[in-house]
Amino acid sequence: MNNQSGKLECLSVIAKIGSHLSICCRAESPASLDSLPLWTLEDCVQTVPIKDPILVLSGQKYTQVEEQDPQVDLHLGASSPALVGEVFLVPVTLVSKGHDVYSGELKINLVDVKGGGLFSPRDNEPYALDSHHVQLVGISGPEGEDDSQLDSDKIKKIQQSFGLISVPIIKNGDSWSCKLEIKWHRPKPIMLYVSLGYTPYRNELNTQTVHVHKHLQIEGHNAIVLNHHYLMPFRRDPLLLSKSKQASESNHSESLPLNQKNVLIVSAKNCTELPLRLKSMRIEVEDNAERTCSIQHASEELAYPALLVPGEVFKKVFSVSSNMNISKLSLGTACLKWRRDLGIEEKCASTSTLSWVVTKQKLPDVNVELPPLIVSFECPPYAVVGDPFTYYIRISNQTQLLQEIKYSLGDAQSFVLSGYHNDTIYVLPKSEHILSYKLVPLVSGMQQLPKFSMTSVRYSAAYQPSNSSNSVFIFPSKPHFKAAVSTNSRMESVVNE
């Protein structure tokens, strides 16, 4: 160039990326615009290596290098809905179908489907007290792999809604799997994003990272709905003045009589589409709380886990009594221990790897009051058509005052009865008055006894017993009950043989 002068024009620029790829870009000039394409690849047919057709027209100003297609399958194996309270397992499987996996990292993200976040600072929500609705609690590798076996360069980070774990070397044709442990504290749908980043070459420097992305929407549902209600002693109904006041007031808090055994029925309904196993239902009382009542059968477990099909309701009966002169009764917390039913796997395996879930619900405090009057009904457990029996009504005065009572007994088409239907009586303090009637049944089956109602003049309170305590079964003829005899002819024949 020493003997020549002039202008040097650049016709093309060649960029080499690694040892397998080089890009030739022609300079912007009228000569280069005549022939297309704008890009030239070495050892290849001339083509445009850009997927965006709009970007092709400006190829002399912008350069786009496409990531090579991954040759590793990423599969998320969760199919059934998640249940609130349980640790839901999501299997993640990596299968190499052409690439070796080196320096692989698995990133996990939990995102709310409806927007916002999985974190709620509000404390007045009626579910769990955990601040996160859904959280990633752990990532477990294949069976037999422990965290202590990880090398020093391995990464494993777990946060509430994010996780990062290193993937071991996977040769072409091999696979590797792990399980994501996600726990729902509230019923909420989430989107699970799993991303794999790896390099297909071991010792090559500055090699490009290949990414595989998968996502899966998982619904979170409530598994168990707990309810409770109280029953008074059978055919023994106290007059509670607070119940008569609640008819005109908005406050409908439950009231129980003092010095009486009451029945508490706690029910658990399976509101999912999956069968569940129930291990126990109990009532727990805080250690630092004063014990204000005694509860029978509060801590007994079931002999065998009960199967609860979708929509079925499981009920347990507790006996509650209090002898303390208090206005509020603290019952504690209803605790239900359950898990998914494993079907055939549960029958074959002696011990299941699925852990039990505990669902808790605080029982509201109830009012306790001394009933001024208690009405008890006494009649035989059953009757026979045409055979007369005596029906007793006992009115007990629990106060130190004289009580004036107006009562009435209605007619019943199923019975013939004798005695006063309407009258006014006076019950002495701390005593009882007994009304007796002779009844003759006319119809068989479950029949309602004559309806009894009364009014306390002093308290201006009306009273009427419930239908459940005012019925009796009538047999068409006198029944003959046989003692239960255990006969097992099949077992006896086997023993004789």
Supply the pTM of this predicted model: 0.68
287 backbone φψ class: left, alpha, beta (φ>0; ψ -120 to 50): alpha
- 360-386, pLDDT tens digit by residue? 899 888 888 888 999 999 999 899 999
Smallest CA-to-CA distance from 377 within 461, 462, 452 is with 452
Contacts of 62 (CB under 8 A, 6+ apart): 55
DSSP-derived 3-state class of residue 75: strand
The domains located in the chain, with CATH, are: 12-57 (no CATH), 72-221 (2.60.40.680), 227-369 (2.60.40.10), 373-475 (2.60.40.10)
pLDDT digits (tens, 9 = 90+) for 420-476: 889 999 999 999 999 999 999 999 999 989 988 889 999 888 877 777 778 899 999
User: Per residue of the chain (497 residues), what is the pLDDT tens digit?
Assistant: 444 445 556 667 777 776 666 777 665 555 444 554 544 444 444 445 555 555 555 444 444 556 677 888 899 987 778 899 888 999 999 998 888 888 888 999 988 887 655 655 444 444 444 567 888 888 887 765 555 444 445 667 777 888 888 888 888 888 899 999 999 888 888 899 999 988 888 776 667 788 899 999 998 889 999 999 888 888 888 888 877 665 555 456 778 888 888 888 999 999 998 899 999 888 887 764 456 667 776 666 777 888 999 999 999 888 888 777 777 888 888 999 999 887 765 555 444 567 889 998 998 888 888 889 999 999 998 999 999 999 999 999 999 999 999 999 888 888 998 888 899 999 999 999 999 999 999 999 999 899 888 899 998 888 777 777 788 999 998 888 776 554 444 444 433 44
Of 247, 254, 239, 258, the closest CA to residue 455 belongs to 239
Give the CB-side neighbour count of residue 80, counting CA atoms within 13 A. Answer: 13
* Residue 62, pLDDT score: 45
The answer to whether 450 and 437 are in contact (CB under 8 A) is yes
3-state percent breakdown (helix, strand, coil) of the chain, nearest 5: 5, 45, 50
